[in-house]
Amino acid sequence: MRQPAAARPRPRRRPGRKILRTALPVVLVAVIFGFALPRFASYGSAWASIDAMTWPQALLVAAAAVGSMVSSWIVICSVLPSVRLREAAAVNLGSSAVANTLPAGGALAMGVSWAMLSGWGVSTADYVLYTLVSGIWNVFARLVLPVLALLAMVTVSRPGTGLIAAAATGLALLCAMAAGFGLLLHSEPFALRAGRALQRTLAVACWFARRPPPPDAAGWLPGFRDRAAALLAARRWRITAAMAVGNLTLWLVLLACLRGVGLSQAQVPWQTSLAAFAFVRLLTVLPVTPGGIGVTELGLVGVLAANSGHRASVQVTAAVLLYRAVTYLPPIPLGAAACLAWRHAPTLIRASPRGAAQLAEITRPVPAR
């Protein structure tokens, strides 16, 4: 005889797993900043290179960082036409503040963005659509970057084995993902099979996590397929352009930092900086640490300072630390301010009912004739 749901014993929580998931990123970050990065340059010498920057160079870095931040807001607006730019800023900054400070903050960041957007009239289906489409396009961009970097590197020198391997991996994964996504949008039998595969995968994952599986995960994909096809038919070029600009401006912040600390084109060509940026973006597709902290710094310094002298290593380390400071740190206090404004001064961040109706119109599936 089956026990009633209320009488069933709850699965035992294992605090050891949670502690391990929290401790591992902290230990990794400590090892990178305490032992790995100082092998390239001391923090004192890196700060001296940053302190030697002129005001025009500092202003150029700040302008590039602001442009990169705004471009990420435009990506949100391109996928969610119901969201104004200031609302996208609040969502992006609030979720980034959580993701950049807490272990496994990605899931909590999604909760923050969902709480904000749902309060402005964005439905659950629209939020899921926004999350999946923007996530898929972000992965596409990260996979295409090594290929573009490889083509750029050919113009100045022979690409290294690591870049060739990253480009080949990115191209193979890009082709596989594009083919799968195309079949998902245009083949109903494939969408049904993918839905059943998703149900089985979630069942296995929930079994390992000792959680009950969702009852109707197989029915998610066909509904997502119809809404995503309608959204992409109307806005695919806008979404693609916004995502490309977002990645380009983020790389330009790195390039501005390299030039700001005195590294010339002869010392670190822009092609090399693009290759390092592409490699690290691909490396951090799965975030091991909050915001990729530690992993990003070590990856960039390791690639850019390879086979360079001590002075160049110091300048590279300074540029990478400056790049991470102006892209990683500002969303934390700004995100806290955005969350406070959302909770206590909502009139400063106000949604547009007309935009919500526009999104519903765009994503409504076209009836078959």
How many residues would you count in the chain?
369
Is the distance from CB of 76 to CB of 349 less than 8 angstroms? no
Rounded Cα gap, residues 324 and 219, in angstroms: 41
Rounded Cα gap, residues 94 and 331, in angstroms: 8
Residue 53: predicted pLDDT: 94
Residues 6+ apart with CB under 8 A from 308: 267, 316
Helix (H, G, I), strand (E, B) or coil at 347: helix
State pTM to two decimals. 0.81
Residue 109: DSSP 8-state: H
* Alpha-helical segments (H) within 80-187: 85-99, 105-119, 124-153, 161-186
Q: What is the pLDDT along the chain (369 residues), one digit of tens a residue?
A: 444 444 444 445 556 666 666 678 788 889 999 999 999 999 999 999 999 999 999 999 999 999 999 999 999 999 998 889 999 999 999 999 988 887 666 677 888 888 898 888 888 778 878 888 888 898 888 888 888 888 888 777 777 777 677 778 777 877 877 777 776 666 667 666 766 666 665 565 555 445 566 566 555 666 677 788 888 888 989 999 999 999 999 999 999 999 999 999 989 999 999 989 998 998 887 777 888 889 999 999 998 988 677 788 999 999 999 999 999 999 999 999 999 999 888 888 864 444 444 444 444 554 544
Rounded to the nearest angstrom, the gap between the alpha carbon of residue 61 and the centroid of all alpha carbons in its chain is 21
Residues 6+ apart with CB under 8 A from 179: none
Greatest extent of the chain over all pairs of C-alpha atoms, in Å: 77
CA atoms within 13 A on the CB side of 212: 7
Domain boundaries, the chain: 42-363
